[in-house]
Amino acid sequence: MESASIVEHVSISIDEKLARHSGLPRERCIFKVHEKLRKLNPDAYEPAILAIGPYHRGKINLQGMEEVKLQYLKSLLVRKEETSAERYVLAMRELEEKARKCYAEPVGLTSDEFVDMMLLDGCFIIELFLKLTDVAIDENDRIFGTCWMGYFLLLDLILFENQLPFFVLLKLYALIEGTKPEEFVYIALNFFAFSNQNLGKPRILDMSSIQEVQHLLDLLHRSRCPDPFVRTEKRKGIKWGRIQCASQLEKAGIKFKKTEDSNLFDITYSNGTLKIPNLTIEEKTEPFFRNLIAHEQYGDSTNLHYITHYCFLMDYLIDDQEDVSLLQRDEIITNCLGGDEVVCNMFNKLCHNLIINDDLFSYNNILDDVRTHCRKRRNIWMATLRRDYFNSPWALISFLAAFVLLVLTITQTVFAAP
């Protein structure tokens, strides 16, 4: 009887939990990075000066910007000749339930705290973007008067965990400026153009695409990555597999050439030449890539993960410092970090603990063509010949002299024969 009573108690407890559990909302799009990714570089996911959204709200080192948020809201109201933020508060109150569902992790804020957060964070972002267009310029602005703050703000606003739902920003922008969503997308992308990560010109998003944007990081990803509906079909019979590093490929006759006027993902292979756009590598490159990769890892697994695939390809090409030096020589990468070892370590660690769909790998056809080239012995022999005998005028002269001597020797032998 005692055992049955215990079972019954557990059963009641489970039933109560099931009754309270409403299921995971489909709208979830703002997550916390899982520990396997975070531990590789924790600082890449942590805001330096600005908390946006609930996950980092209240941290002591980020409190300085809370006063700036209030200052920006006040300047907004003065600019719009308003004395109260009531209409903005009411609009955020209507969006609270929908916005809460966007956060995958529990949010322990009261209703008033959550609305307060959406209003202050959203208005701050909009005013920040407008200041770059001279709409909300202020000569005494604390941020634009200090060069280092703009740099860290840009990084903080693209952090995977540091986001507001995009529809919150669109609603506030409509209330503040009264213009179409396309205008806000324009000024947002204008702000992120300063990221200088060689992603190329932003892709123009139509209204339906704008309505699907989840947050600012997603906007950056959608606008800079190729159209997901335009895909290179994987040729039949191709099995996914990595290629050799750049220095080994060069020994097999593969040449590297910088692609001009192209976005980061426009990588092609033709007639033994691998064409890759230039990437400038600087201090913000790693957190920039890591947060875009995290966004892809938590997204739809059937979509092409362009950033992840690009980093995998670069990881294949870079095994050690010799490969970094080779890619610098051919202007594939521009190293602003310092030593080649730093760049090598960055790419070698970027893809740790990542999952990709082999069949959807963006560069499967290219990898297959490169492997096919390297399997042909003739290509390796020709590459060795060029490297050892044709790499300088003197080496070529020596080779030709030896060849002529060999021909003369054979000729003399033939004529001397009885």
What gap in Å lies between CA 185 and CA 206, rounded to an integer?
Answer: 11
Q: What one-character DSSP code corresponds to residue 160?
A: T
Tokens 């703002």 -> residue: 30
What gap in Å lies between CA 22 and CA 371, rounded to an integer?
Answer: 50
List pLDDT tens digits, range 181-232.
999 999 999 888 865 556 667 778 888 889 999 999 999 999 888 876 556 6
At residue 252, the pLDDT reads 87
Closest to 131 measured CA to CA, from 191, 184, 218, 204: 191
At residue 1, the pLDDT reads 47
- Asked if 256 contacts 329 with a C-beta cutoff of 8 angstroms, the reply is no
Interacting residues of 9 by C-beta distance below 8 A, sequence separation 6+: none
For residues 214 and 91, state if they share a domain.
yes
- Asked if 304 contacts 359 with a C-beta cutoff of 8 angstroms, the reply is no
Residue 21 lies in a domain: no
What gap in Å lies between CA 172 and CA 92, rounded to an integer?
Answer: 8
Closest to 237 measured CA to CA, from 55, 378, 364: 364
Residue 87 lies in a domain: yes
For residues 183 and 45, state if they share a domain.
yes
Q: Rounded to a whole number, what is the largest CA-CA distance in the chain?
A: 116
At residue 385, the pLDDT reads 47
For residues 192 and 258, state if they share a domain.
no
- Asked if 348 contacts 315 with a C-beta cutoff of 8 angstroms, the reply is yes
If you compute the radius of gyration of the chain from its CA atoms, what whole number of angstroms results?
28
What gap in Å lies between CA 140 and CA 69, rounded to an integer?
Answer: 15
Neighbours of 170 (CB within 10 A): 19
Tokens 């609603």 -> residue: 171
For residues 100 and 207, state if they share a domain.
yes
At residue 70, the pLDDT reads 95
Q: What one-character DSSP code corresponds to residue 103?
A: B
Residue 8 lies in a domain: no
Low-confidence ranges of the chain (pLDDT < 50): 1, 21, 381, 383, 385, 396
Q: In the structure encoding, which two tokens stand for residue 218, read together?
A: 């997603």
Closest to 307 measured CA to CA, from 205, 160, 123: 160
Domain that holds residue 334: 246-375
For residues 80 and 208, state if they share a domain.
yes
Interacting residues of 346 by C-beta distance below 8 A, sequence separation 6+: 281, 285, 286, 337
For residues 214 and 257, state if they share a domain.
no
Residue 59 lies in a domain: yes
For residues 125 and 158, state if they share a domain.
yes
What gap in Å lies between CA 220 and CA 188, rounded to an integer?
Answer: 9
Look at the chain and report how many structural domains it folds into.
Answer: 3
* Amino acid present at 182: E
Residue 330 lies in a domain: yes
pTM given for the model: 0.85
For residues 214 and 250, state if they share a domain.
no
